[in-house]
Structure 1
Amino acid sequence: MSAQTAGPETLGHLSDEPPPVDPTSKKAKAITGKSPMRIALGRLRKDKIAMVCAAVTLFFILIAVFAGPICAIFGVSTETVLPSQYLNALGGGLPLPEYGPPNGPFTMDHPFGIAPNSATDNLAYWIYGARTSLEISATATFFAAIFGIVLGLVAGFLGGVVDKVVSFLTDLFLTIPFLLAALVIAPIINQRFASSDNYPRIQFWALIVVLAGFGWMGVARLIRGEVLSLREREFVLAARVLGMPTSRILIKELLPNLAAPIVISISLMLPAFVAAEAGLAYLGIGVTSGISWGQTINLATKFFETYPLYLWEPMIGIVALVLALNLLGDAVRDALDPKTRR
């Protein structure tokens, strides 16, 4: 007798796209009549990691916004005190045991301890360092996103000479090392405005210009690529036939369809700027006339062995904020991707 013929083998899907959803299933009915943004928000709410990261991000935002009242609640401030009253002159400038670590227990007067040599409160500097980091990174992200979106829209839609010029500028800025440019610009600003009364704000905005000036290229290239695929779609062609102005086509027709890549770009750009701001402050070319996590790390490296907590406090803040923003950005990208398996 011949062997029984085996059943047909299942080859499965050759592409990464998920199988079509049955329109009568519960999953299909759950998203019926919902906009893509509402569907994405529903996915985010079901993602536990995204919710935890959103809570951590909200925590840092509240700290940055209400830095003054929070410091008042704990009774701490960034004012410089007389170091000789709090520090051990014979112990390398470390705090006296009654004022907290590393030689004493934590106290409610200084929950994070006090800084060596200067005796400033670590909690107050940590809170205002979070404000500086978020303020600079959020502002730089806003300007970089606006600049990149405008250039990407114009280059992708108009094409021709405009597209070539924008593409050349994008490639030109991508060839300039960011750190090298910052090292060149910072001494010029220090020499030009060091004697100005508004030097801290000048330094603040100069850093934003540097971050935004070298952060818009990725957004511009992404938006340009999306517009190149959208400008040949039926709704854009119909708008052209109706004689709709170019500005209206860009704002009313194309821009709403670019919400997903814009949100993804912003969510991934923000943590990069947070890390960049801290790194530049650590190198002494960022915020040097104000309060910054990177500046605190720069001062704390000298006390790594004798007072490690002084170094770990700002580092934990940077790692927690950047990690939360990165994971939240990944979750947003997955939620906005219709091909994501859930």
Structure 2
Amino acid sequence: MSAQTAGPETLGHLSDEPSNEGPEKKAKGITGKSPMRIAMGRLVRDKIAVVCAAVTFFFVIVAVFAGPICALFNVSTETVLPSQFLDTLGGGLPLKGPPLHGFDPDHPFGIAPQSATDNLAYWVYGARTSLEISATATLFSSVFGILMGLVAGYMGGIVDKTISFVIDFFLTIPFLLAALVIAPIINQRFNASDNYPRIQFWALIVVLAGFGWMGVARLIRGEVLSLREREFVQAARVIGMPTSRILMKELLPNLTAPIVVSVSLALPAFVAAEAGFAFLGIGVTSGISWGQTINKATPFFESYPLYLWEPMIGIVALVLALNLLGDAVRDALDPKTRR
């Protein structure tokens, strides 16, 4: 009996050994899929990435539909008779709304001390300002950095040396110091203009994009230096393909992964920078901004903390979601990761 049962046991042990069908099934699962489809499949399976994408989408919806959202809650950025809502003898603190008083449906986020402006309206429009500035600055800096990196990496020689010198020169300029110098000049030159808020808006975008394109350019240049020696680029040169077509049709599609990663990591950096500049008084000072609200709320940290925590939570949630989403995108686009 022992001899008869030995056979099945031995076969059972052999059947329990790991087989080589796993990699084959995985290979069949990704056959015919583009790298972007494989990356999207990885992102969908990443729970953290899905949550961060949902948070980012929420802020985008808030920014795009700021007006309808304020109309839905019947709130506005205009102040009507602030003396009715403020304790003028108690430091200008609100007489209604959280956290000092009960919930007020007319002002779900409370009202600001001393000015009686609605916190929800300022929070919603602050999200619009932050995302609008950061997205526009990311677009401009990425496009300019990609073009400079493509030209420098492909052309080489004196062109590469000149562009690399310009990149190194801009990297030596302190970003914050340059912004502190530029802001008073713009303020003195255009403060009497009727379009001063829009001038501040575009000036901040120029500053952010002007000092944010160098990292993208260096990344793209390094990738192009390796790609330009590949067979498909050499073949395009041999058949006489124009340089512009080689850059746009041959090299640029192979740079999708580093471009997506650089954009996903630059956006949260610009969100934080915009809020920081507004807090320092060198950003958007004539409009509505999270950083400007934080600057006004700092003196009321102990007596009315809600005024400070609302924009702070918005900035932290948005920047954290964008950073984690950027890390997830980078991992999903990296073929060496095992996610």
Q: CA deviation at 1:307?
A: 0.3
Q: How does 1:134-173 map to 2 (within 5 A)?
A: 134-173=131-170
The answer as to 2:62 corresponding to 1:78 is: no
SS at match of 1:90: coil
1:15 match: none
The answer as to 2:267 corresponding to 1:266 is: no
The answer as to 2:192 corresponding to 1:195 is: yes
Q: CA deviation at 1:83?
A: 1.6
SS at match of 1:297: helix
CA RMSD of aligned residues (A): 1.0
Unmatched tracts of structure 2, length 5 or more: 1-19
Q: CA deviation at 1:29?
A: 1.0
How many angstroms apart in 1 are the aligned matches of 2:230 and 2:48?
A: 36
1:240–1:314 Cα change, 3 Å: same
Q: Does the Cα contact within 8 Å between 1:149 and 1:223 map onto a contact in 2?
A: yes
1:128-169 per-residue CA deviation (whole Å, 9 max, x = no partner) reads 000000000000000000000000000000000010011001
Counterpart AA for 1:289: S
Among residues 325, 328, 336, which one is paired with 1:328 in the alignment?
325
Counterpart AA for 1:279: G
More moved, 43-52 vs 23-32: 23-32
SS at match of 1:25: helix
Q: CA deviation at 1:22?
A: 6.8
Counterpart AA for 2:302: E
How many angstroms apart in 2 are the aligned matches of 1:87 and 1:134?
A: 32
2:285 match: 288
Q: Does the Cα contact within 8 Å between 1:100 and 1:110 map onto a contact in 2?
A: yes
How many angstroms apart in 2 are the aligned matches of 1:257 and 1:206?
A: 33
1:302-334 per-residue CA deviation (whole Å, 9 max, x = no partner) reads 000000011000000000000000000000000
Q: How does 1:116-127 map to 2 (within 5 A)?
A: 116-127=113-124
1:13 match: none
2:274 match: 277
Q: CA deviation at 1:56?
A: 0.1
1:7 match: none
1:183 match: 180
Among residues 91, 101, 105, which one is paired with 2:102 in the alignment?
105
Q: CA deviation at 1:102?
A: 3.5
How many angstroms apart in 2 are the aligned matches of 1:24 and 1:142?
A: 40
Unmatched tracts of structure 1, length 5 or more: 1-20
1:36 match: 35
Q: Does the Cα contact within 8 Å between 1:101 and 1:307 map onto a contact in 2?
A: no
Q: How does 1:21-100 map to 2 (within 5 A)?
A: 25-96=24-95, 99-100=96-97
How many angstroms apart in 1 are the aligned matches of 2:205 and 2:222?
A: 26
1:222 match: 219
TM-score scaled to structure 1, two decimals?
0.92
1:279-300 per-residue CA deviation (whole Å, 9 max, x = no partner) reads 0000000000000000000000
Q: Does the Cα contact within 8 Å between 1:81 and 1:118 map onto a contact in 2?
A: no
SS at match of 2:58: helix
SS at match of 2:142: helix
SS at match of 1:91: coil
How many angstroms apart in 2 are the aligned matches of 1:121 and 1:86?
A: 11
SS at match of 2:93: coil
Counterpart AA for 1:53: C
How many angstroms apart in 2 are the aligned matches of 1:187 and 1:80?
A: 29
1:10 match: none
How many angstroms apart in 2 are the aligned matches of 1:27 and 1:322?
A: 35
Overall identity of the aligned pairs, in %: 83
1:23–1:233 Cα change, 3 Å: farther
How many angstroms apart in 1 are the aligned matches of 2:205 and 2:158?
A: 30
Q: CA deviation at 1:85?
A: 1.3
TM-score scaled to structure 2, two decimals?
0.93
1:12 match: none
2:305 match: 308
Q: Does the Cα contact within 8 Å between 1:236 and 1:249 map onto a contact in 2?
A: yes
2:14 match: none
How many angstroms apart in 2 are the aligned matches of 1:315 and 1:103?
A: 19
Q: How does 1:250-261 map to 2 (within 5 A)?
A: 250-261=247-258
Counterpart AA for 1:28: A
